[in-house]
Amino acid sequence: MNHYLVIVESPAKAKTINKYLGKEYQVLASYGHVRDLVPKEGAVDPAHGFAMKYQPIARSSKHLDAIAKALEKADTVYLATDPDREGEAISWHLQQLLAERGLLKDKPVRRVVFHEITQRAVSEAMQNPRGISTDLVNAQQARRALDYLVGFNLSPLLWRKIRRGLSAGRVQSPALRLIVEREEEIERFEAREYWTVQARLAKASHRFPARLVEFGGEKIEQFSIVDAARAAEVRNQLLAGAQGQLQVERVERKQKRRNPTAPFITSTLQQEAARKLGFTAKRTMQIAQQLYEGVDLGGEQVGLISYMRTDSVALAQEAVQEIRAFIAERYGSDQLPAQPRTYKTRAKNAQEAHEAVRPTSVQRDPEALRRILTPDQAKLYELIWKRTVACQMTHATFDTVAITLTAGDAGRFRATGQTLVHPGFMAVYQEGRDEQSDEDENRELPAIAEGESIPLEEIETDQHFTEPPPRFSEATLVKALEEFGIGRPSTYASIISTLQDREYVVLDRKRFMPTDVARIVNRFLTQHFTQYVDYQFTARLEDQLDAVSRGEREWVPVLEDFWGPFKNRVDETLENVSRAEVTTETLEETCPKCEKPLTIRLGRRGRFVGCSGYPECDYTRNLEDKADDAPPELVEGRNCPECGAGLVQRQGRYGKFLGCSAYPTCKHIEPLEKPRETGVTCPECNEGHLLQRKSRYGKLFYSCNRYPACKYAVWNPPLAEPCPQCNWPILTLKTTKRRGTEKVCPRKECGYTAPAEDALPADASATG
């Protein structure tokens, strides 16, 4: 009997596939990548055709030994790594390593690809093997070489010119530029005042509003009314013209359709999971990987979703047939369009996988799987399942009405509303929104006829101010990366993680804010490496790499076109740009001590204003402070515990705090608000108790009073109640818009949640 060895990346995937193959097959995992570039200069050699020096990854040695041992009995090797460029590269590296060790001999090596881990898909793949795709491998090698060359040349430059420990990357740096430029746009923004006018109307017991759209024969624009005096004048003229009622001039009734959205691709899955579930991109991909690789459904190991790294919205014909049959059975044949819905892929080079992210079978209902899956797996699977089912259902139908009313000759008002007549796909799924609309789209209006008079209750004027563009959330950042062509589906999560790990960004209310170092790094790169952080340049380079993967371009010329100009730019900057030029910024302001120019400088704790005459002049102040700010306010009755001098209230980059008035002789500081007692014993050390504190970004958290001896901390208010599921000594109170207030176990691996039922957090009960 012949023996076959199948190699995949993960043990979970190996376990699932093993169930589908016969006894003559042995399935082993490589546990991810098996080799990488040597971690030092010279790993990519531009002088010799960009030759790349690889070495085995240390942690993979024992797994390679197991594969080598299994190879002794195998007649044929099947490489079944993931169906994208990275998976193709892993298969190639495996083949190269095994060949170098002389383990393959004359044994055939075959590549098999499947986009879902099911019995049918695996069997079909095993019957239709192919060779390793040189084009896909070359595209991945080119990508890896570019990332190495940029990182190993730009990062040391940042160390010299700004600060040690910084990094820059081919796709990381343009992503950082997006965040920094949005923050600068917000800071430059100047709010403008404007007023709206609205009539409050009533017909019988039905009250409804109508907004002013025309006044004095002119259309009302956003800035037609810009102050209270003009708003009052307009209101008075409208009241005089209306004489207590508005006349219905026109009633327009229409029917509106709303079509379902396309099934998920990687980017839209990450966006929707962020909006609806509060998942980070990294967490979404980790859970999706688990669902793809397989879950034990009571003795049966099954992959629940298709491959999750994809930018194609296509669905397999068999999947569409199954979905349509399911819809007809579950929701009725009237919920099916006459023909299957097809969607057009927006990405120019959609080739990461052949299908959208979908359930491997819609017959596996999310409710039936809820008791088997972890809470996070269940939530994400339900999201994918609902979106997939909805994408093949009928459109939703709305009856819309727009009513135009007149206030004599003074002005016109418009009232709009809509009623859902046929929910169609909306009975199953509705896409989330990044920013909520102010318009009440679902307002119902009473039955009104043209020529009718409607009693006027009041005309209201409301003051508004324009708002700056919002900071990026994970969802909107992924959307922007996709729109600009920065990176590819498999890289979005790692881009965001890198920016956070390098402390280039912080999350404030789930929105990204750049740090001071990030601003300086971005300014340095945009001034001296303008082309390489340009959005269009990054997108064009991605397109060239995609062309390599399709066999339309050779990979070495792509690297040559990039490397020459880039290396020259690095060398010129190293030679001609000083650290002071990069980290200081001259202000149009003189020092109050010596009258020399003031500069913005970078210190260990961020940017600050300092005198250009340093060290002869030691004047400094916080960046947020103004030149004519009043001296620090002395806190009555509070003295420094170290030197006895009075304490003053100061303003730092993270808000207000108390500091010694004898600074810089005495450098004692303490928080403005003292930590509050919660009365809850620390569940980790069982000696201390949890205190309510405020982070340097102003966010409340709860930590052990024995810090740093005990570093236990939670974000949500603690409750002195043990978890009924895992017996952890405390629960916490978590409040979200979607689910309200719940009791939650702080241990992620537990996942216990329950309605709060008016429970008080420990700090509330402890402080009365």
Supply the DSSP string of 467-492, one letter for each residue: -PPPPP-HHHHHHHHHHHT-S-GGGH
- Using CA atoms in the order 277, 278, 280, 284, what is the torsion angle rounded to 10 degrees? -10
Q: Is the peptide bond before 683 cis (omega within 30 degrees of 0)?
A: no
The Cα 499–Cα 491 span in angstroms is 12
At 234, give phi and psi (nearest 5°): -65, -45
The Cα 394–Cα 397 span in angstroms is 9
Q: In 3-state terms, what secondary structure has residue 320?
A: helix
Active-site pick, 31, 292, 307, 381: 307
What is the total residue count of the chain? 768
Q: Are 763 and 692 in contact (CB under 8 A)?
A: yes
Q: Are 420 and 400 in contact (CB under 8 A)?
A: no
DSSP at 632: P
- Using CA atoms in the order 693, 694, 695, 696, what is the torsion angle rounded to 10 degrees? -130
Angle, nearest 10°, between helix axes 266-277 and 281-293? Answer: 110
- Cα–Cα distances in angstroms (integers) from residue 716 to residues 374, 559, 622, 691, in the given order: 22, 49, 31, 12
Q: Are 454 and 448 in contact (CB under 8 A)?
A: yes
The Cα 671–Cα 700 span in angstroms is 13
The Cα 103–Cα 95 span in angstroms is 10
Q: In 3-state terms, what secondary structure has residue 215?
A: strand
Taking the CA atoms of 23, 9, 278 and 422 in sequence, report the sign of the dihedral they define. Answer: negative
666-688 exposure pattern, b = at least 16 Cβ within 10 A, e = fewer: eeeeeeeeeebebebbbbbeeeb
Query: From the centroid of its chain, how far is CA 118?
Result: 30
Scanning 391-515, the segments in alpha helix (DSSP H) are 474-484, 492-501
Q: In 3-state terms, what secondary structure has residue 1?
A: coil
At 453, give phi and psi (nearest 5°): -105, 130
Rg (CA), the chain: 32
Q: Are 9 and 80 in contact (CB under 8 A)?
A: no
Q: Which helix (H) or strand (E) holds 184?
A: helix 172-188
Q: Which residue bears the tokens 């298969």?
A: 91
Q: Is the peptide bond before 615 cis (omega within 30 degrees of 0)?
A: yes
At 420, give phi and psi (nearest 5°): -75, 115
Among the listed residues 704, 730, 728, 729, the one whose alpha carbon sits nearest the alpha carbon of residue 719: 730
The Cα 621–Cα 601 span in angstroms is 11
Supply the DSSP string of 538-604, one letter for each residue: HHHHHHHHHHHHTTSS-HHHHHHHHHHHHHHHHHHHHHH--HHHHH-EEEEEE-TTT-PEEEEEEET
Q: In 3-state terms, what secondary structure has residue 754?
A: strand
Catalytic-residue membership of 654:
no
In sequence order, the 6+-apart residues with CB closer than 8 A to the CB of 254 are: 399, 400, 401
What's the token pair of residue 254? 């229409």
Q: Are 34 and 59 in contact (CB under 8 A)?
A: no
Active site (catalytic) residues: 307
